Protein backbone atom coordinates (compact mmCIF):
# COMPACT_ATOMS: atom_id res chain seq x y z
CA UNK A 1 0.00 0.00 0.00
CA UNK A 2 1.46 3.34 -1.03
CA UNK A 3 2.06 5.80 1.78
CA UNK A 4 0.86 8.53 -0.60
CA UNK A 5 -2.69 7.23 -0.49
CA UNK A 6 -5.05 9.23 1.69
CA UNK A 7 -6.55 7.56 4.76
CA UNK A 8 -10.02 9.10 4.91
CA UNK A 9 -10.75 7.77 8.40
CA UNK A 10 -7.97 9.90 9.86
CA UNK A 11 -9.87 13.08 8.94
CA UNK A 12 -12.29 14.81 11.28
CA UNK A 13 -15.57 15.93 9.75
CA UNK A 14 -14.25 19.49 9.36
CA UNK A 15 -11.03 18.20 7.79
CA UNK A 16 -13.01 16.12 5.30
CA UNK A 17 -15.08 19.14 4.36
CA UNK A 18 -11.89 21.13 3.75
CA UNK A 19 -10.24 18.29 1.83
CA UNK A 20 -13.10 17.74 -0.62
CA UNK A 21 -12.98 21.45 -1.44
CA UNK A 22 -9.32 21.06 -2.43
CA UNK A 23 -10.53 18.36 -4.80
CA UNK A 24 -13.03 20.72 -6.41
CA UNK A 25 -16.18 19.57 -4.59
CA UNK A 26 -18.67 21.23 -2.26
CA UNK A 27 -18.16 20.89 1.54
CA UNK A 28 -21.35 18.86 1.97
CA UNK A 29 -19.64 16.02 0.12
CA UNK A 30 -17.22 15.81 3.05
CA UNK A 31 -20.12 15.48 5.45
CA UNK A 32 -21.58 12.71 3.30
CA UNK A 33 -18.29 10.81 3.27
CA UNK A 34 -17.94 11.21 7.05
CA UNK A 35 -21.42 9.78 7.55
CA UNK A 36 -20.70 6.82 5.26
CA UNK A 37 -17.46 6.05 7.08
CA UNK A 38 -18.73 6.09 10.65
CA UNK A 39 -22.52 6.21 11.01
CA UNK A 40 -23.11 3.70 8.24
CA UNK A 41 -19.77 1.88 8.55
CA UNK A 42 -19.37 1.09 4.85
CA UNK A 43 -16.45 -1.06 3.73
CA UNK A 44 -16.35 -0.27 0.00
CA UNK A 45 -16.38 3.03 -1.86
CA UNK A 46 -19.16 1.70 -4.11
CA UNK A 47 -21.50 1.82 -1.12
CA UNK A 48 -21.37 5.65 -1.11
CA UNK A 49 -24.51 5.78 -3.24
CA UNK A 50 -25.30 9.49 -2.86
CA UNK A 51 -21.94 10.59 -4.28
CA UNK A 52 -21.48 11.17 -8.02
CA UNK A 53 -19.95 8.15 -9.73
CA UNK A 54 -17.07 10.27 -11.00
CA UNK A 55 -16.23 11.38 -7.44
CA UNK A 56 -16.36 7.79 -6.18
CA UNK A 57 -13.90 6.84 -8.91
CA UNK A 58 -11.61 9.66 -7.74
CA UNK A 59 -11.77 8.35 -4.18
CA UNK A 60 -10.91 4.81 -5.31
CA UNK A 61 -7.79 6.12 -7.06
CA UNK A 62 -6.55 8.37 -4.26
CA UNK A 63 -7.85 7.05 -0.95
CA UNK A 64 -8.07 4.04 1.34
CA UNK A 65 -10.89 2.95 3.63
CA UNK A 66 -9.17 0.16 5.54
CA UNK A 67 -7.08 1.01 8.60
CA UNK A 68 -7.36 -2.30 10.43
CA UNK A 69 -8.96 -5.73 10.46
CA UNK A 70 -10.12 -8.25 13.05
CA UNK A 71 -7.45 -10.92 13.42
CA UNK A 72 -9.10 -12.93 16.22
CA UNK A 73 -12.06 -12.79 18.62
CA UNK A 74 -12.03 -14.60 21.97
CA UNK A 75 -15.15 -14.87 24.12
CA UNK A 76 -15.05 -15.65 27.82
CA UNK A 77 -16.26 -19.09 28.86
CA UNK A 78 -17.86 -17.78 32.03
CA UNK A 79 -18.98 -14.28 31.00
CA UNK A 80 -20.16 -12.61 27.81
CA UNK A 81 -17.01 -10.52 27.47
CA UNK A 82 -15.20 -10.70 24.12
CA UNK A 83 -11.66 -9.59 23.27
CA UNK A 84 -10.75 -8.48 19.77
CA UNK A 85 -7.24 -8.73 18.42
CA UNK A 86 -7.08 -5.94 15.85
CA UNK A 87 -4.38 -6.00 13.17
CA UNK A 88 -3.28 -2.57 11.97
CA UNK A 89 -2.10 -1.86 8.44
CA UNK A 90 1.56 -1.91 9.49
CA UNK A 91 1.17 -5.46 10.85
CA UNK A 92 1.14 -4.71 14.57
CA UNK A 93 -1.76 -5.39 16.91
CA UNK A 94 -3.98 -3.79 19.53
CA UNK A 95 -6.73 -5.27 21.67
CA UNK A 96 -10.28 -4.05 22.18
CA UNK A 97 -12.84 -5.44 24.63
CA UNK A 98 -16.64 -5.75 24.46
CA UNK A 99 -18.31 -6.03 27.88
CA UNK A 100 -22.07 -6.75 27.92
CA UNK A 101 -23.62 -6.38 31.39
CA UNK A 102 -27.38 -6.52 31.07
CA UNK A 103 -28.60 -3.41 29.28
CA UNK A 104 -25.19 -1.76 29.64
CA UNK A 105 -22.83 -2.71 26.80
CA UNK A 106 -19.37 -1.18 27.10
CA UNK A 107 -16.53 -1.10 24.60
CA UNK A 108 -13.01 -0.57 25.96
CA UNK A 109 -10.81 1.12 23.34
CA UNK A 110 -7.02 1.22 23.05
CA UNK A 111 -5.24 4.49 22.29
CA UNK A 112 -1.65 3.27 21.88
CA UNK A 113 0.20 0.11 20.90
CA UNK A 114 1.72 -0.66 24.30
CA UNK A 115 2.39 2.03 26.89
CA UNK A 116 5.36 4.10 28.03
CA UNK A 117 4.33 4.50 31.69
CA UNK A 118 5.60 1.10 32.87
CA UNK A 119 3.11 0.66 35.71
CA UNK A 120 4.53 -2.25 37.69
CA UNK A 121 1.32 -4.29 37.83
CA UNK A 122 0.12 -3.85 34.22
CA UNK A 123 0.71 -6.21 31.29
CA UNK A 124 0.44 -3.43 28.73
CA UNK A 125 3.17 -1.47 30.48
CA UNK A 126 5.52 -4.44 30.14
CA UNK A 127 5.31 -4.04 26.34
CA UNK A 128 6.78 -0.56 26.31
CA UNK A 129 5.42 1.90 23.75
CA UNK A 130 5.48 0.84 20.09
CA UNK A 131 3.50 3.82 18.76
CA UNK A 132 0.44 6.01 19.11
CA UNK A 133 -2.78 5.18 17.30
CA UNK A 134 -4.35 7.67 14.92
CA UNK A 135 -7.86 8.93 15.59
CA UNK A 136 -9.11 6.74 12.75
CA UNK A 137 -7.43 3.63 14.16
CA UNK A 138 -9.02 4.31 17.54
CA UNK A 139 -12.52 4.86 16.15
CA UNK A 140 -12.14 1.91 13.76
CA UNK A 141 -12.03 -0.42 16.77
CA UNK A 142 -15.61 0.56 17.54
CA UNK A 143 -16.71 -0.19 13.98
CA UNK A 144 -15.35 -3.73 14.28
CA UNK A 145 -17.02 -4.32 17.63
CA UNK A 146 -20.31 -2.80 16.49
CA UNK A 147 -20.49 -5.27 13.60
CA UNK A 148 -19.94 -8.13 16.05
CA UNK A 149 -22.19 -7.09 18.93
CA UNK A 150 -25.78 -8.28 18.98
CA UNK A 151 -26.71 -5.41 21.33
CA UNK A 152 -26.34 -1.67 20.79
CA UNK A 153 -23.22 -0.15 22.34
CA UNK A 154 -24.19 2.07 25.28
CA UNK A 155 -20.85 3.13 26.81
CA UNK A 156 -17.33 3.72 25.53
CA UNK A 157 -14.23 3.87 27.71
CA UNK A 158 -10.66 4.76 26.73
CA UNK A 159 -9.21 2.26 29.19
CA UNK A 160 -7.55 -0.27 26.89
CA UNK A 161 -3.92 -0.38 25.87
CA UNK A 162 -1.99 2.86 26.35
CA UNK A 163 -2.19 6.12 28.28
CA UNK A 164 -4.85 8.17 26.47
CA UNK A 165 -3.44 11.51 27.57
CA UNK A 166 -0.02 10.59 26.12
CA UNK A 167 -1.87 10.61 22.78
CA UNK A 168 -4.08 13.52 23.72
CA UNK A 169 -4.86 15.12 20.35
CA UNK A 170 -5.71 11.87 18.58
CA UNK A 171 -7.80 10.62 21.50
CA UNK A 172 -9.87 13.81 21.63
CA UNK A 173 -10.27 13.71 17.85
CA UNK A 174 -11.45 10.09 18.09
CA UNK A 175 -13.86 10.93 20.92
CA UNK A 176 -15.27 13.72 18.76
CA UNK A 177 -15.89 11.17 15.98
CA UNK A 178 -17.69 8.90 18.46
CA UNK A 179 -19.77 11.83 19.67
CA UNK A 180 -20.52 13.45 16.28
CA UNK A 181 -24.09 13.33 15.01
CA UNK A 182 -22.90 11.97 11.65
CA UNK A 183 -20.36 9.73 13.38
CA UNK A 184 -21.45 7.25 16.04
CA UNK A 185 -23.69 9.79 17.81
CA UNK A 186 -22.73 8.56 21.29
CA UNK A 187 -23.58 11.01 24.07
CA UNK A 188 -20.53 12.72 25.54
CA UNK A 189 -21.47 11.57 29.05
CA UNK A 190 -21.36 7.97 27.84
CA UNK A 191 -17.72 8.36 26.78
CA UNK A 192 -15.03 8.13 29.49
CA UNK A 193 -11.35 8.94 29.04
CA UNK A 194 -8.96 7.51 31.61
CA UNK A 195 -5.54 8.78 32.64
CA UNK A 196 -2.84 7.59 35.01
CA UNK A 197 -2.39 11.14 36.23
CA UNK A 198 -0.82 13.39 33.58
CA UNK A 199 -1.35 16.71 35.35
CA UNK A 200 -0.85 19.15 32.43
CA UNK A 201 -3.27 17.20 30.24
CA UNK A 202 -5.90 17.07 33.01
CA UNK A 203 -5.71 20.85 33.23
CA UNK A 204 -5.82 21.19 29.45
CA UNK A 205 -8.85 18.88 29.31
CA UNK A 206 -10.56 21.18 31.82
CA UNK A 207 -9.58 24.36 29.97
CA UNK A 208 -10.85 23.05 26.65
CA UNK A 209 -14.27 22.32 28.15
CA UNK A 210 -14.68 18.76 26.90
CA UNK A 211 -17.91 17.12 28.03
CA UNK A 212 -16.48 13.60 28.08
CA UNK A 213 -16.14 11.97 31.49
CA UNK A 214 -12.76 11.71 33.16
CA UNK A 215 -11.36 8.79 35.16
CA UNK A 216 -8.05 8.97 37.05
CA UNK A 217 -6.07 5.90 38.15
CA UNK A 218 -5.04 6.52 41.75
CA UNK A 219 -4.23 3.00 43.03
CA UNK A 220 -2.45 4.06 46.23
CA UNK A 221 -2.88 6.38 49.20
CA UNK A 222 0.81 7.21 49.76
CA UNK A 223 3.46 8.57 47.41
CA UNK A 224 5.94 5.83 48.32
CA UNK A 225 3.66 2.99 47.23
CA UNK A 226 2.18 4.87 44.28
CA UNK A 227 5.66 5.67 42.92
CA UNK A 228 6.49 1.95 43.03
CA UNK A 229 3.27 0.95 41.32
CA UNK A 230 3.11 3.92 38.93
CA UNK A 231 6.41 5.67 38.13
CA UNK A 232 4.46 8.67 36.78
CA UNK A 233 3.94 9.59 40.46
CA UNK A 234 7.61 10.58 40.68
CA UNK A 235 6.86 13.40 38.23
CA UNK A 236 3.45 14.42 39.57
CA UNK A 237 2.79 13.17 43.08
CA UNK A 238 -0.56 12.64 44.73
CA UNK A 239 -0.78 16.22 46.01
CA UNK A 240 -0.16 17.65 42.52
CA UNK A 241 -2.61 15.19 41.03
CA UNK A 242 -5.33 16.14 43.50
CA UNK A 243 -4.83 19.84 42.73
CA UNK A 244 -5.30 19.10 39.02
CA UNK A 245 -8.40 17.02 39.74
CA UNK A 246 -9.86 19.83 41.83
CA UNK A 247 -9.10 22.26 38.99
CA UNK A 248 -10.92 19.97 36.55
CA UNK A 249 -14.06 19.49 38.65
CA UNK A 250 -14.32 23.20 39.44
CA UNK A 251 -13.79 24.27 35.84
CA UNK A 252 -16.15 21.68 34.37
CA UNK A 253 -18.66 21.14 37.22
CA UNK A 254 -18.28 17.45 36.32
CA UNK A 255 -17.67 14.62 38.75
CA UNK A 256 -14.59 12.52 38.04
CA UNK A 257 -13.93 8.89 38.88
CA UNK A 258 -10.93 7.64 40.81
CA UNK A 259 -9.92 4.10 39.87
CA UNK A 260 -8.32 2.19 42.74
CA UNK A 261 -6.89 -1.21 41.78
CA UNK A 262 -6.68 -3.06 45.09
CA UNK A 263 -3.82 -5.54 45.63
CA UNK A 264 -3.21 -7.91 48.51
CA UNK A 265 -0.78 -6.54 51.08
CA UNK A 266 0.06 -3.54 48.90
CA UNK A 267 -2.76 -1.03 49.18
CA UNK A 268 -5.64 -2.85 50.84
CA UNK A 269 -5.29 -2.28 54.59
CA UNK A 270 -7.53 -0.09 56.74
CA UNK A 271 -4.88 2.63 56.89
CA UNK A 272 -4.98 2.80 53.09
CA UNK A 273 -8.76 3.07 53.23
CA UNK A 274 -8.61 5.94 55.75
CA UNK A 275 -6.02 7.80 53.66
CA UNK A 276 -8.03 7.21 50.49
CA UNK A 277 -11.10 8.65 52.21
CA UNK A 278 -9.13 11.79 53.05
CA UNK A 279 -7.54 12.14 49.60
CA UNK A 280 -10.65 11.52 47.52
CA UNK A 281 -12.77 13.56 49.91
CA UNK A 282 -11.06 16.67 48.59
CA UNK A 283 -12.51 16.16 45.10
CA UNK A 284 -16.01 16.00 43.61
CA UNK A 285 -15.72 12.33 42.71
CA UNK A 286 -16.73 8.72 43.01
CA UNK A 287 -14.33 5.82 43.61
CA UNK A 288 -14.23 2.52 41.75
CA UNK A 289 -12.45 -0.17 43.75
CA UNK A 290 -11.11 -2.75 41.27
CA UNK A 291 -9.87 -6.10 42.65
CA UNK A 292 -6.57 -6.79 40.91
CA UNK A 293 -6.49 -9.03 37.85
CA UNK A 294 -3.29 -11.03 38.23
CA UNK A 295 -0.61 -10.32 35.64
CA UNK A 296 2.75 -10.42 37.42
CA UNK A 297 3.85 -12.68 40.27
CA UNK A 298 4.56 -9.86 42.74
CA UNK A 299 0.91 -8.85 42.98
CA UNK A 300 -2.22 -10.86 43.79
CA UNK A 301 -5.89 -10.12 44.24
CA UNK A 302 -7.05 -9.75 47.87
CA UNK A 303 -9.61 -12.15 49.21
CA UNK A 304 -13.23 -11.13 48.86
CA UNK A 305 -13.31 -10.64 52.64
CA UNK A 306 -10.43 -8.14 52.50
CA UNK A 307 -12.06 -6.26 49.62
CA UNK A 308 -15.30 -6.05 51.59
CA UNK A 309 -13.47 -4.84 54.71
CA UNK A 310 -11.70 -2.16 52.67
CA UNK A 311 -14.96 -0.93 51.17
CA UNK A 312 -16.70 -1.04 54.55
CA UNK A 313 -13.95 1.22 55.94
CA UNK A 314 -14.96 3.79 53.30
CA UNK A 315 -18.54 3.95 54.54
CA UNK A 316 -19.54 7.48 55.43
CA UNK A 317 -17.19 9.02 52.85
CA UNK A 318 -18.27 12.14 50.98
CA UNK A 319 -18.05 10.21 47.71
CA UNK A 320 -19.75 7.14 46.29
CA UNK A 321 -17.90 3.83 46.25
CA UNK A 322 -18.46 0.86 43.96
CA UNK A 323 -16.57 -2.41 43.56
CA UNK A 324 -15.93 -3.18 39.92
CA UNK A 325 -15.14 -6.84 39.40
CA UNK A 326 -13.49 -6.98 35.99
CA UNK A 327 -14.98 -9.12 33.25
CA UNK A 328 -13.11 -11.50 30.95
CA UNK A 329 -10.10 -12.33 33.13
CA UNK A 330 -10.15 -15.92 31.81
CA UNK A 331 -9.20 -14.59 28.35
CA UNK A 332 -6.83 -11.88 29.65
CA UNK A 333 -9.35 -9.20 28.73
CA UNK A 334 -9.73 -7.63 32.16
CA UNK A 335 -8.31 -4.38 33.47
CA UNK A 336 -4.51 -4.36 33.23
CA UNK A 337 -4.26 -7.63 31.28
CA UNK A 338 -4.16 -6.41 27.67
CA UNK A 339 -0.94 -7.23 25.86
CA UNK A 340 -0.06 -8.19 22.29
CA UNK A 341 3.58 -9.20 22.75
CA UNK A 342 2.94 -12.80 21.57
CA UNK A 343 0.90 -11.64 18.61
CA UNK A 344 3.69 -9.32 17.45
CA UNK A 345 5.81 -12.44 16.98
CA UNK A 346 3.29 -14.74 15.31
CA UNK A 347 1.64 -12.04 13.21
CA UNK A 348 4.65 -11.11 11.09
The domain spanning residue 24 has which CATH number? 1.10.150.530
Q: How confident is the model at residue 121 (pLDDT cuts 50, 70, 90)?
A: confident
Q: Which of 64, 95, 111 is the last residue of a domain?
A: 64
Residues 16, 116 within the same domain = no
Active-site choice (17, 95, 137, 163): 95
- Indicate the residue among 15, 31, 64 that finishes a domain: 64
| Catalytic residue chosen out of the listed positions 108, 122, 245, 335 | 335
Distance from CA of residue 251 to its chain's centroid?
Answer: 23
Number of compact structural domains in the chain = 2
| Global confidence as pTM | 0.92
Choose the weakest-confidence range: 13-22, 135-144, 193-202, 322-331: 322-331
Q: Is 108 considered catalytic here?
A: no
pLDDT bracket for residue 218 (50, 70, 90):
very high
Closest Cα partner for 175 from 220, 142, 198? 142
Q: Do both 21 and 83 map to the same domain?
A: no
Q: Does the active-site annotation cover 335?
A: yes
- Whether 1 is in a domain gets the answer no
In terms of domains, do 51 and 80 share one? no
Collapsed DSSP state (helix, strand, coil) of residue 264: coil
User: What is the mean predicted confidence (pLDDT) over 306-327?
Assistant: 90
**Pairs from 251-255 (Cβ < 8 Å, separation ≥ 24):** 251/206, 251/207, 251/209, 252/206, 252/209, 254/211, 254/213, 254/214, 254/284, 255/284, 255/285, 255/286
Mean pLDDT along residues 245-251: 98
One domain, residues 77 and 23: no
Please, which residues have CB within 8 angstroms of residue 267's CB and are 6 or more apart in sequence?
219, 220, 221, 225, 229, 260
* Domain residue limits at 142: 68-346
Q: What is the CATH number of the domain that holds 307?
A: 3.20.20.70
Write down the mean pLDDT value for the chain.
Answer: 91
- pLDDT, residue 344, reads 45
* Residue 28, in any domain of the structure: yes
With 60 as the cut, is the pLDDT of residue 262 above it? yes
- On whether both 103 and 192 belong to a single domain, the answer is yes
pLDDT in tens, 97-115: 999 988 999 999 999 999 9
Amino acid sequence: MSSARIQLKNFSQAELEDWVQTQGHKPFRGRQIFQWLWQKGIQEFSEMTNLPKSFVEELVKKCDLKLSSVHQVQTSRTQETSKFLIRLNDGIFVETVLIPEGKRVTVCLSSQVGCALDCDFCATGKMGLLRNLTSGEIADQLLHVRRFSEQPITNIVFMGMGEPFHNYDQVIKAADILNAELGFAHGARKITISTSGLVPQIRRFADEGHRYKLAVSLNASQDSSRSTLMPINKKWNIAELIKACQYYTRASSNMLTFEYVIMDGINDNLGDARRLMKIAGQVFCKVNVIPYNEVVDEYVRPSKKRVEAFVEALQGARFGVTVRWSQGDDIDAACGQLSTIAQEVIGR
